[in-house]
Each structure stands twice: as C-alpha cells, then as structure tokens.
Structure 1
Amino acid sequence: MIPGTLALTGLLLTGCSGGAASSSSAAASSSGSNTSSSSTGASASPSGGNQLESDYRRVISDVLPSVVQITAGDSLGSGIVYDDKGDIVTNAHVVGDAKNFTVTLANSTKPLDATLVGSFPESDLAVIKLSAVPSGLRPAVFGDSGKVEVGQITLAMGSPLGLASSVTQGIVSATGRTVTEPQSPDSPGATIGNMVQTSADINPGNSGGALVNLSSQVIGINTLAAVDQELNGSAAPGIGFAIPAATVTGIADQLIKTGTVANSGRAALGITARTYFDSNFQPAGAAIVTVVAGGAAAAAGLQPGDVITKLGDTRITTIGALTTALASLQPGAKTTVTYQRDGQTKTADVTLGTL
C-alpha cells in the first residue's frame, strides 16, 4: 500500500494494491501542468451515445484480456501482459518483497504461477514472468503517453477490491503531475514525474492495471488514488494517477533484458543528501553528504557540506523537495543550483545526469 498527501487541501494519496494489508498515511507532494501536445486516443466527439457505448465495448474487448490479477502473499493487485513470452508489468508496491506470485488471466479462472524478473521501486515498477505461457496470451499495446491530452476519455482496468476484470471510465484530468509516494513496507517512497491524472475511479487492487485510451492503447499504469482527510480517509472521487506509458516501457524493457535498470530516464545530481535544519531547527535545505565522482554535481564543483537551497527557481527546504524538483526535469537538462558554503551563498550551473 502506498498512501501519501497531495498538495491539495485535505487530500491524501493512497496506493491501489489490495488485500489483507491496510493503508496508512504520510506526507507527499504533487505538482504539474494541465497541458500537453496532441492526442493518442480516438476523437472524443462521437456521433451519439450509441457510438460512444460501442467504442467502450470495443476497447474493453481489445484490452481487458491483457489485464491480469496478481496475488502476492495476502495482497492483491493488477498487472498488464507485456509480451507473448509471459512477461507482466505491474507496480513495484504490488510485488513488494515477494519473489513468487499467482496470476489469474481475465479469460480464465485457473491460477498461473509467476516469478519476479526485476523490480525498480524508484519508479514503482516491476516485471514478473509466467512460469508457463498459456496459448492465446494477448499482450497489450502501449501508446505514446507524451501525446496524451487533457479531456481524452480513459478507461481504468484492473481488480479493485479483488473484483477481477473491472472497468471504470473518466477523462484525463491533467498531465505532467509529479507525485511523491510516502514510505511504506512495500515502497521507499518513490517520486514519479509526468504522471497522468484521471477522473476514472482507481480503487485498492487497481494498482498495476491499465489506463487506456479509445484507441485501445495503454497510456499508463494505474498507481495511486486520493482520499479526503476531512472525510476520515474516504475516497476522493475522480482523483487518480497513472505512471505514463513511456516510463513503463523504458523501465520494463531493461528489467526484462537484464533484471536491473541502468537508465531510469530520471534526472539526478549525483549526490546523497539529507535535510538540513537551521539554528531554529527549521528545514532549510538539502545538505550534500557525498558527491559521486564524475556525476553532475562533481562536474559543477559541488562538495560535501554544501547546502542546496534552490534548484532553478524552486526553493529547496528538504531532501524530499529536492527529489520532487529533480523528478520534474530530464537527464541532460541544464539548471542552476543555489547553495550555501561556509556561510556564503553561491550558484553553480549543472547539467543533470541520470538516476
């Protein structure tokens, strides 16, 4: 389970794996934009209700056979058939520390055994593999999440509350969201950039399932939903988040090939750091503990003991704020780091590396 707070009054984010384990609450942050380039889905202007219903039925028929239910210990989640070799992509918080799983296909009641291929908790993604590939296994088609637009119709598919092969509908509410998941037993608290926000209901058990456009393409993996603190943790309808397809395919391809991730596609300074507290015991920056030789920070002359207070125009008061700021940037991007050294404010121009 991965809960966390959104930068919206009274809301929490909660991970959408399900089972005997229960959700908890912790701090997190979110930022983003509401615009993108062009659409991947079919036109959202059907000639009438019958046509839209027909589109829904077609997409469900196309994609739902590629969405599976995953049992990891006493927890339930969802996954997406990635290829015809039995690889299934899901959230890292769905697999947790487990190495062996039971998978149920949408068109079958027979449980299938699967084992872990690799997990990358930093992006909350993992791949498992069926021990025996059944005939007729249908891989999903992944779309270009960089072309997703606000207002596109979306369908969320998965196993909410253990109800296998369930479908909810909504629209893309926003793009470019950066969301920080709080730490939990199943997650180190990943900060994920460029997430797709959707109004399609995402409930516990939906994690790892498919967010789909009307062209029957997966544009993201359902990962988080919001709950309302002011309503005792009740669901906040219409606020869910999916990891974009581009991130999913980039990580999954590496996990399948080597079991590890060498290029996350995420920006990094090449440091380890901790939150720095000022004389009033208030968080006041990210203090550099170590600098990776040959990394972005080292090339810019940053040193252990420097306290980062701004990244570009973004104020940095905690290590979490620095992580969130970096998640919104791309490797190779150039930015300015403002930092304190020996009581003096300095700046350094940095070309970001890869996490």
Structure 2
Amino acid sequence: MESEAAQVNRKKEPTRPLPAGPRPTGPRVYGGRLLGPGAVAALTALAVTGCSSGSSSSSSTATTPGASSPSPSARPASGNQLQDAYQKVIADVLPSVVQITTATGLGSGIVYDGKGDIVTNAHVVGTATTFSVTLANSTKALDATLVAGYPESDLAVIRLTSPPSGLRPAVFGDSAKVELGQITLAMGSPLGLSGSVTQGIVSAIGRTVSEPQGGGSPGATIGNMVQTSAAINPGNSGGALVNLNSQVIGINTLAATEPEAGGAAAPGIGFAIPASTVTGIADQLIKDGKVTNSGRAALGITARTYFDQDFRPAGAVVVAVSAGGPAAAAGIQPGDVITKIGDATVDSLNSLTSALASLTPGTRTTVTYTRDGRSGTAEVTLGTLETP
C-alpha cells in the first residue's frame, strides 16, 4: 500500500564488451530526484542514479585480480599510518567483494557466509535467476543462482552453485555507530573494473531516498541510508561501503546526478543501504526464502494521492483502513486526507511513503488530516509493513 516511489536516476548497463572479455558494461540512465525529510534544499535539483555500471571518478583505483600487494620495503621508510590503515582494510575486505554478471549487465556483491551466499542489490539481480560471479582474487567465473529478493528494500541474495574453499565472508558493522565524518572506502566493480576502491567520509546519515519502478529498478523507498563522499559509480551497486575497522557499514546503491547538467554526475554524493537493514533482510531471505518482518513502519491503510480543486497534489487520501491496524485504532477513516506525519509534510502518496520510511515500527507519531474540510490530528503507534 505505502509504495509509490518517485523516480531516481539509475544506471544499468546495456551489453558491450570490456577489454578483458565479453562482459557487458555501460549505463542506462533514468531520470528522477532525491526525496525525504533528510534531503537539504541544495540537493532538490539532483537526481539519484543506481550503480549497476558507469563512468569512474579520478579518485578510483583499480586492482587486478591475483596481483600481489607491494612489499613493505616498497613503502616509504617513514611510513604513513593512514595509508597503512587503508591498505589493511583493503586486504581484509576486498576478498569479500565480488563482481556479478547477468545477461544484461553487471554489478557487485558481498560474500555473506561460508556457504556461498552473496548479498547484493535487487536492481543488480533484476529478473535474472542465474549469474556469473567473479571473486576479487580470481579470474575464473563461478555459477550462482537466485536465493530470493526483496525489492521493497532493493536487496537480494544469490548463492554460488559450487562454493570454493576459503571464501571470505565480510564482517558487518553496527549501523547505530556510524557517525558523520567517519572515513569510508567504497569497494566494487565500476565499469566492470573489479576490485576498485574509492575513499571518502560519511557525509550524512538517516537519508530517505526513493527509487524508480521499471526498467529493472524495483521502485523502493529506503530510509536511514548512509550518504558518503566516496565515489560510487555504475557497477558499484551491491558492493561494500567499509569503515577503517574493516566492517561493512552499508551496501553501495545510489549516486546523485544533476539533470540540469545533462545527467552529469554530482561528485561526492552517494548512498548506501545501512548494514542493519542488509543483515536483517538477508538473514530472512537465506532462512525462509522470503521476508516475514520488513522492519518498515506502516499505518495500516490503502491510500492514493489527493488533488485539490486546482489539480495540485495536496495530500494522501485514505481509501481503506485495515481492521485492527494502527490507523483504525487511532480513529482514522476512509476519506480522510493525510497532510502531515509528525513534522513531515505529506502532499502525495510518495511523500507519505517517504515519511514512513524514515520511521520505525512501534514509533508513536502525530498524523494530521482533514475530514469534511476540517483539520484533525490522531496519535498513532505505527505498525509493521506487511510483506507480500
């Protein structure tokens, strides 16, 4: 019910050969915008692009699978603590980051466990059920099949058909400990350059971003995303955003573009799904093959965008109320037009979805609505969004 997503600029590649072999690369671009109460005014003209493959940044560094690391004697004698920390994180985590190739494009993934489960974005998987996976320390492609996906959070799990020995599962960090200014490294396969690493910081937390629907994109509205200045390019989708403790703090998913500049990249604005969302969804997909607890807040209503007399969007009108649900318990009725959730203005179904995505089940919030031309409020304890 609460799922109507605004467009987000997503890049997913058509097929063309890479120099290293017949792997498809290159972007398909979809228009859109950044949404959510966390979005600042300076970003309202930006679009957000999914990272299933695209142009790389000058801050990117590519490594060749199987290449040896420089010997300690090759480093400056004085040493550099920050450089050493970067190189340690790369050595710890990069073996856990893989390249995923489908019939229509490529993206990245993260080794989740020793059984061969790999977590990635649902938009990387698309409609495919079989995949070719290349580990960071190998040039040999491995077969994999789909375990399950959850497009509502843009996440999916695939599994290696014959997992090799020595798989390196990644360590996922605590999302609650992610702070502004923390140094981050983004790892993945931009433009098919497997094992690439970029660096930046955590620029913001708690962003809510909406994605498009169609063209392989699931149309998710995702809350509590981590914003980073590390370059995230097409092909990075599904890869790792990592802290200096060698912990994955998010899955690289979106990068901003500037429509007024012809869709050019807006440097230093990327988004990652937080680790807590990733592990919560992936554990359910692996165990049950589906998601039974979305962890997403819901009112327990069916709604649509309401238009005023001038045909301008002016709220979300309640079409139906679930019996025994949060809205019903608070006295919200069909025909009510919701105009605010807490302090967040609601002028469409999409903005209602975005407002709810920034909250968690069990949160008590004020819902402002109009009924028969009169304004009213209701205190609602939010429930959990039911899964299909």
* TM-score over 0.5 for the pair: yes
Q: State the TM-score, normalizing by the size of structure 1.
A: 0.90
Long gaps (5+) in structure 2: 16-26, 41-77
Aligned pair partner of 2:209 in 173, 179, 182: 179
Identical-residue share of aligned pairs (%): 71
Cα distance, 1:17 vs structure 2 = 4.7
Amino acid at match of 1:29: L
Q: How far apart, CA to CA, are the structure 1 residues paired with 2:154 and 2:355?
A: 18
Q: Does 1:61 align with 2:75?
A: no
How do 1:112-127 residues align onto structure 2 when only pairs under 5 Å count? 112-127=142-157
Please state whether the residue corresponding to 2:254 is helix, strand or coil.
strand
Q: Does residue 55 of structure 2 align to residue 25 of structure 1? A: no
Distance 2:312 2:11 in 1: 34
Partners of 1:262 and 1:4 lie apart in 2 by: 25
Q: Deviations over 1:113-162 (max 9, x none)?
A: 11111111111111111111111111000001110111111100000011
- Choose from 236, 258, 268 the match for 2:298: 268
Which residue is 1:310 aligned to?
Answer: 340
In structure 2, relative to structure 1, the CA distance for the partners of 1:287 and 1:339 (3 Å cut) is same
Aligned partner of 1:176: which letter? Answer: G
Q: Secondary structure at the match of 2:253?
A: strand
2:189 is equivalent to residue 145 of structure 1: no
User: Which of 175, 182, 185 in structure 2 is aligned with 1:155?
Assistant: 185
The offset of 1:285, in angstroms, is: 0.7
Verify the 8 A CA contact 2:301 2:321 in the aligned structure 1: yes
Alignment of 1:246-257 (within 5 A): 246-257=276-287
Q: 1:187: Cα distance to partner?
A: 2.7
1:321 and 1:4 map into 2 onto residues whose CA distance is 9
| Counterpart for residue 216 of structure 1 | 246
Aligned residues: 333
1:330 alignment partner in structure 2: 360
1:300 to 330, 333, 338: 330
CA drift of 1:288 comes to 1.3
Residue type of the alignment partner of 2:142 = L
Distance (Å, rounded) in 1 between the aligned partners of 2:181 and 2:86: 16
SS in structure 2 at match of 1:340: strand
Q: Does 1:70 align with 2:100?
A: yes
Deviation at 1:227, TM superposition (A): 1.1
Name 2:138's counterpart in structure 1: 108
> How far off its partner does 1:33 sit?
8.6
Q: What is the alpha-carbon distance in structure 1 between the residues aligned to residue 247 and residue 11 of structure 2?
A: 21
Q: Deviation digits for residues 49-88 of structure 1, max 9, x if unmatched?
A: 7111111111111100000001122210000000001110
The CA deviation at 1:230 is: 2.9
Pair 309,31 (structure 1): closer, same or farther in 2 beyond 3 Å: closer
Tell me which amino acid in the other structure corresponds to 1:22.
R
| Larger deviation, residues 258-267 vs 340-349 | 340-349
Question: 1: distance between equivalents of 2:132 and 2:274?
Answer: 26
Give 1 or 2: higher strand fraction.
Answer: 1
Bigger drift between 108-117 and 181-190 goes to 181-190
Distance 1:296 1:231 in 2: 44
| Unaligned runs of at least 5 residues, structure 1 | 6-12, 35-47
Greater mean deviation of Cα atoms: 87-96 or 333-342: 333-342
Provide the C-alpha distance between the structure 2 equivalents of 1:19 and 1:56, rounded to a whole number of angstroms. 33
Aligned counterparts, 1:236-247, within 5 A: 236-247=266-277
Partner of 1:41 in structure 2? none
Query: What is the distance in 2 between the residues matched to 1:319 and 1:33?
Result: 18
Contact 1:115 1:129 in 2 (8 A): yes
- TM-score calculated relative to the size of structure 2: 0.82
Partners of 1:30 and 1:302 in 2: CA distance: 24
1:255 aligned counterpart, secondary structure: helix
